[in-house]
């Protein structure tokens, strides 16, 4: 009889001094327990849609390869995962190579026709294809598209309150998720570069955070996740002890109204409000530099980063594992409440 893999490992002995000891049965048991901990979470998310926005700030960090593997794992456990990406730093780099100085007005890149051309080259041609190529090292999984494809994202020109000319900068006016659904229905992973179609079909520059929020709402997603270069949302960015672990959408609206956040966090919080007011249950801001931030949040009892719920009683999602970080019940849903497949999607 062929011995089991586990018995093979347990029975292995170090070949000599300096050789690693094979895993003990206790260690293997701990690994099994970690996988088992994921079961209720997989039951909850399988057949549902999760939109993940991967920020330019996290690209090129140690977390990148792990992020790609986590996205693939999500797909293999039956989650309809949609990746939305930024790439602002790379756009600025290419502009510099063409002797163009980036100018920002209230966080929006002033986008003349040449800048729009460069941004589209970088986002659609480079960043998008890098992500698609890396995901597809796991097989035929990812398909890249921009907001112009299938009129996924249509923009209306943004009017600057100060009357400044922002060029081809737009706000998301309409979302048509038909192309995304065509892909997820075939088990594929759409990877979206957030260049939108303008009023006359010309490319428009829309904020990737805002686009992710609008897409999540249009898809009726279960979750919207922002991966960026901070642990989450801080009450005070200068105070590392002020990480806000759990908020309601009303609290996020109050923070936005109070003007207490700045820079890149504002469009994420606005995107969260768009998504949660549009029917998405939860949103998260996670540190994309951290390896496996996605798995830690989605498939462990403790969770990481900042979680925003659509309503206060929504805190039933368990995050009261050994770390006791969040308050809630200990099971995601009662028996029979887990999604059974695509038909549960609204
Ligand atoms: P991304 O490429 O992921 O969109 P951004 O740089 O645009 O990254 O946004 C993330 C940044 O938001 C952080 O690096 C941080 O400097 C900034 N930020 C501003 N206010 C806050 C806050 N209250 N909590 C966390 N981050 C904040
Ligand atoms: Mg940003």
Q: Please give the distance, rounded to the nearest whole angstrom, from the Cα atom of residue 108 to the centre of ligand 2.
A: 10
**DSSP 8-state symbol, 240:** G
Q: Please give the distance, rounded to the nearest whole angstrom, from the Cα atom of residue 304 to the centre of ligand 1.
A: 17
Q: Please give the distance, rounded to the nearest whole angstrom, from the Cα atom of residue 121 to the centre of ligand 1.
A: 25
Q: For ligand 1, what atom is nearest to the CA of residue 86?
A: 2
pLDDT < 70: residue spans in the chain:
1-21, 313-346
User: CA 244, CA 272: separation in Å to the nearest integer?
Assistant: 15
Q: For ligand 1, what atom is nearest to the CA of residue 285?
A: 25
CA distances from 285 to 90, 143, 163, 262 (A): 22, 25, 33, 15
Going by C-alpha positions, the residue among 249, 262, 237, 261 that lies closest to residue 213 is 249
| Nearest ligand atom owner, CA of 260 | 1
SS3 1: coil
Question: For 90-99, what is each residue's pLDDT tens digit?
Answer: 999 999 999 9
The token duo for 23 is: 């895993």
Q: What is the pLDDT of residue 302?
A: 83
Q: What is the pLDDT of residue 335?
A: 32
Give me the percent of the chain exceeding a pLDDT of 70: 84
pTM of the model: 0.86
The b/e string for 204-227 (b: 16+ C-beta within 10 A; e otherwise) is: bbbbbbbbbbbbbbbbebbbbbbb
**Helix boundaries (H) for the chain:** 5-11, 25-37, 39-45, 63-76, 88-97, 113-120, 128-135, 178-184, 208-219, 249-258, 265-277, 293-299
Q: Which residue has the tokens 């009889």?
A: 1
């Amino acid at each position: 009889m062929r011995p089991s893999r586990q018995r093979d490992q347990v029975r292995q002995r170090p070949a000599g001094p300096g050789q690693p000891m094979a895993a003990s049965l206790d260690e293997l048991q701990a690994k099994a327990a970690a996988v088992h901990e994921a079961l209720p979470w997989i039951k909850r998310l399988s057949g549902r849609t999760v939109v993940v926005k991967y920020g330019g700030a996290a690209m090129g960090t140690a977390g990148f390869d792990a992020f790609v593997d986590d996205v693939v794992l999500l797909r293999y456990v039956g989650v309809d995962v949609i990746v939305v990406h930024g790439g602002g730093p790379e756009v600025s780099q290419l502009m510099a190579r063409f002797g163009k100085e980036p100018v920002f007005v209230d966080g929006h890149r002033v986008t003349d026709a040449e800048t729009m051309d460069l941004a589209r080259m970088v986002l659609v041609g480079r960043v998008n294809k890098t992500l698609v190529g890396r995901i597809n090292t796991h097989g035929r999984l990812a398909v890249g598209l921009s907001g112009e494809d299938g009129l996924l994202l249509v923009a209306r020109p943004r009017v600057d309150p100060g009357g400044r000319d922002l060029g081809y900068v737009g706000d998301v006016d309409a979302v048509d998720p038909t192309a995304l659904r065509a892909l997820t229905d075939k088990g594929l992973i759409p990877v979206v570069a957030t260049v939108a179609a303008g009023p006359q079909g010309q490319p428009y520059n829309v904020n990737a955070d805002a686009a992710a929020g609008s897409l999540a709402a249009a898809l009726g997603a279960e979750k919207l996740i922002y991966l960026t270069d901070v642990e989450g949302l801080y009450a005070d960015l200068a105070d590392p002890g002020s990480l806000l672990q759990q908020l309601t959408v009303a609290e996020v609206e109050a923070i936005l109204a109070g003007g207490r956040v700045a820079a890149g966090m504002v469009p994420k919080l606005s995107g969260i409000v768009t998504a949660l007011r549009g029917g998405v249950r939860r949103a998260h801001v996670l540190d994309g530099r951290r390896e496996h931030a996605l798995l830690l949040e989605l498939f462990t009892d403790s969770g990481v980063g900042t979680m925003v719920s659509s309503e206060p009683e929504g805190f039933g999602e368990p995050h009261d594992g050994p770390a006791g970080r969040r308050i809630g019940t200990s099971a995601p849903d009662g028996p029979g409440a887990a999604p059974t497949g695509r038909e549960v999607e609204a």
